[in-house]
A and B are shown apart, each in its own frame.
Chain A
Amino acid sequence: MKNLVEVKNIKKNYGKNEAVKGISFNIKEDEILGLLGPNGSGKTTTIGMLLGLLKPTSGEILINGQKLEGNRIEILEQINFISPYIELPKKLTVKQNLTVYGKLYKINNINERIEYLSEKLRLGGLLNSITGELSSGQKNRVSLAKALINEPKVLLLDEPTASLDPEVGDFVRSFLENYKKEKKISILLASHNMNEVSRLCKSILMMKDGIIIDKGNPEELINKHGRKNLEEVFLKLTRSKNELN
């Protein structure tokens, strides 16, 4: 499996504050990498750099073999992002929003793509609904449809199931598992839901204070730290001094 995402020693300083202190990792195709860490650990900054919204102070990011620096547009065509902290225009209908983003990503046969996604994400009856009037679960699925409109090779997910009820949360997780398997895409999942991370991710990065303090698959980490589950590992690591440094 080739690496679709290669992050090489990236750092990000805001003045004297070092938000990310030189981290490196790869994400293979058909892989979901979990990114865990307490608030302020550098997860959002890392995602911002992967999306080209933030310029790293140093280091290099390659997506599908292409350097992000200097190839922003070509790379943005291949990635997408979902977060509960960003929304689609509330006054537009679901179909209008998806059409707009279909155009922004220059998708051919937008209607076919919308039909496919609405079937997969159970949006059929919602296409003509006003986006702002949907429930959290429905909005989440619409945002996911927008994030998949360009058939991304790399999908960045920030708390994709936050504030969802267990049924919708489970639906989204199952969908992501199947979609990843079917399309062989790479997914970076930042989440505070340890059960979700355990279920979806084969490998995990633990971040704290801008560095990666541990990594491995969920079982390895649980055994290595002698804990019962990933949440306990998370608590141990975030409350203790850095493991690898």
Chain B
Amino acid sequence: MSLTRMYGLFLRHFYLITRSFPRVLDLVYWPTIQITLWGFISNFFATHTTYYNNAVGVILTCAILYDFLFRTSIGFNMLFLEEIWSRNFTNLFIAPMKIGEILTSLVATALIRALIGLIPAVLLTSPLFGISILDLGIFLFFLFLSLYLFGITLGILVSAGLLRYGPSFENIAWSTMFLLAPFGCIYYPIEILPELFQKIAYLLPLVYIFEEARNILINQTVDIQNIYNAFIWNGVYFVLSIALFYYSFNVAKKKGTLINMGE
């Protein structure tokens, strides 16, 4: 793996973001709107329900965590789509970059994109709603890490689809998170779901992450097993996504998708 090459690909996206004010605005705008909206909803529920009585900010914290997941996943897809939209795709794939280098560079860049959006929004929550996501303590790091892993896993899966099927797969890139959100139990406990949906939800890392976030904030206890389960499932899906990406690359080389990308 070459750090120089990975840095080169990072630079390509860094230059793009820093040269374009609308792009920076776009990164910051949606998380801020999302979190402000959920902040007011959170305040309403905190004062009108018993479930959230002792934990002002549970919904808002979960909204922030979900937004981080969403931004990471979409951020990764965007990096890939940018190459297709700018007709630079072929240039990238004829450069002597290993697939692992491309993925590593995009994974790091996606994190930076997600943080650019998230940090201002998180900073707003304290003065606006009197809530700090840091209430999750040291476990916040593990929850974020877990969400980050799942976000890039989804990003890699969608990119594998783009490689295999071309730009027509673009719509899937936008809808993946919406498909999984109901099973993620982001704003409600898993018991709300029908039994069949619960079984599906337990196969995803999301339910463990959001259940644990609520557990920490509402019950003031930590269930390490939830964090452990989230990492196990993340590991499984991450390895699968990498394998699928390599498979898609090889299929694309056989089918000719790489030279027709952008058409």
Contacts and interface: CB of A to CB of B under 8 A. Distances in A.
A200 to B, nearest CB: 22
A73 B8 contact: no
Interface stretch (A49-57, A167-175, A235-243): A49-57
A99 B16 CA distance: 13
Given A101-B8, A104-B97, A45 B88 contact: no
A48 B256 contact: yes
Interface stretch (A1-9, A58-66, A82-90, A207-215): A82-90
Question: For A77, A86, A92, A93, which residue has the most chain B Cβ atoms within 10 angstroms?
Answer: A86
A67 interface: no
Contacts of B95: 76, 101, 104-105
B175 interface: no
Interface in A12-56: 14, 44-45, 48, 51-55
A53 B86 contact: no
A51 B19 contact: no
Interface size range on A against B: 35 or more
A53 B87 contact: no
Contacts of A45: 256, 259
B259 A53 contact: yes
A87 B7 CA distance: 21
A6 to B, nearest CB: 19
Nearest to B7: A103
A73 B96 contact: yes
Contacts of B5: 103-104, 106
B254 A55 contact: yes
Interface in B8-22: 8-9, 11-12, 15-16, 19-20
B91 A86 contact: yes
B49 interface: no
Interface in A198-243: none
A53 B258 contact: yes
Contacts of B93: 53
A93 B18 CA distance: 12
Contacts of A53: 90, 93-94, 253, 256, 258-259
Given A55-B254, A102-B8, A92 B94 contact: no
Interface string A72-84: 1110110111010
Contact of B253 (A55, A92, A102): A55
Question: For A52, A76, A104, A146, which residue has the most chain B Cβ atoms within 10 angstroms?
Answer: A104
Interface string A94-133: 0010011111111000000000000000000000000000
B90 to A, nearest CB: 4
Contact of A96 (B15, B89, B259): B15
Contact of A86 (B7, B90, B98, B256): B90
Contacts of B4: 103, 106
Contacts of B97: 73, 104
B255 interface: yes
Nearest to B93: A53
B54 interface: no
Given A53-B90, A55-B250, A103-B4, A77 B96 contact: yes
A113 to B, nearest CB: 14
Nearest to A75: B96
B96 A87 contact: no
A137 B253 CA distance: 32
B86 A89 contact: yes
Nearest to B91: A86
A133 to B, nearest CB: 12
B50 interface: no
A180 B49 CA distance: 77
A48 B7 CA distance: 27
Contacts of B88: 86-89
14 contacts: A14-B255, A45-B259, A48-B258, A53-B93, A54-B253, A55-B250, A81-B90, A85-B87, A86-B88, A87-B86, A89-B15, A92-B19, A100-B11, A100-B15
Interface of B: 2, 4-5, 7-9, 11-12, 15-16, 19-20, 82, 86-98, 250, 253-256, 258-259, 262
Given A76-B95, A96-B15, A105-B95, 4 more contacts: A86-B91, A87-B87, A103-B4, A103-B8
Interface of A: 14, 44-45, 48, 51-55, 72-74, 76-77, 79-81, 83, 85-93, 96, 99-106, 146
Closest 6 CB pairs of A and B: A103-B8, A76-B96, A104-B95, A104-B8, A48-B259, A55-B253
